[in-house]
Structure 1
């Protein structure tokens, strides 16, 4: 090696450049692989308006991950229910953590977030507690209730107007 560097002093610089290029290429490959294999989806679910809001992550691999609720950046223990990591049929995993929001006021919702993190990594996926992001299985039922209530109120308004017009005609002698 000493003879090589003696005969070609630029060889060491060439090796350094080659290592730098390999390092950058390796880093790009790792980032691509992380994106391809970490197909985790983080979502907020709630069965009813009175049940826990569940933060759910699925499709991740390997099965070493953390998930928790935070309030103002601090991990919550009270009012939070941690679930276990469960296998999916495709070899990936899922987990969830629930939060009791019954005592959380509307303006305080923005102070809460759900954190999903692979063990040993600094990067994490954070989902803010937001009513607009919560999926529920009562969606279409709630829509039908709203339409029904609107129709009943419209019918009631027409009935009140009819009674008012009829009373007015009777009192004016028509």
Structure 2
């Protein structure tokens, strides 16, 4: 009789486990975003070099002290982009009421501008600004820029010799 009772209990246990269940709700959330932009120079040089060569100080603030360069942007939607230029060395200086890149030569700075066809817009240092790159292809755009040497004092006060500065160009998008 004890064996039969044990078999009944065992059978009941097996039957109950067949009909038992448990569940858990799992909520899955995610945010789909555009991939990060890839930016490069025309020749993929790192860092991008802008060389003013040897220059007579009298030519500063003239078209002779201007260098054009481009940044190529791919891998993202280029219709709603902004840029921030952050000095890595030498900081910024005030020129015509806005901040420009300062060099390691006192009074000498680099004024950056975006060129879009015949339109030229000032770029201010350490300020997020909308940019308008030109579409090169379905996957790549080009941001045309201009760097001009400018001085904030008398030309005769500039120290002769080599000068330098560096900055980080960060492209953001919405």
Interval containing the TM-score (normalised by the shorter chain): 0.3 to 0.5
Select the structure that is richer in strand: 2
| Larger RCO (CA under 8 A, 6+ residues apart) | 2
Instruction: Report the TM-score when normalising by structure 1.
Output: 0.37
Instruction: Report the TM-score when normalising by structure 2.
Output: 0.37
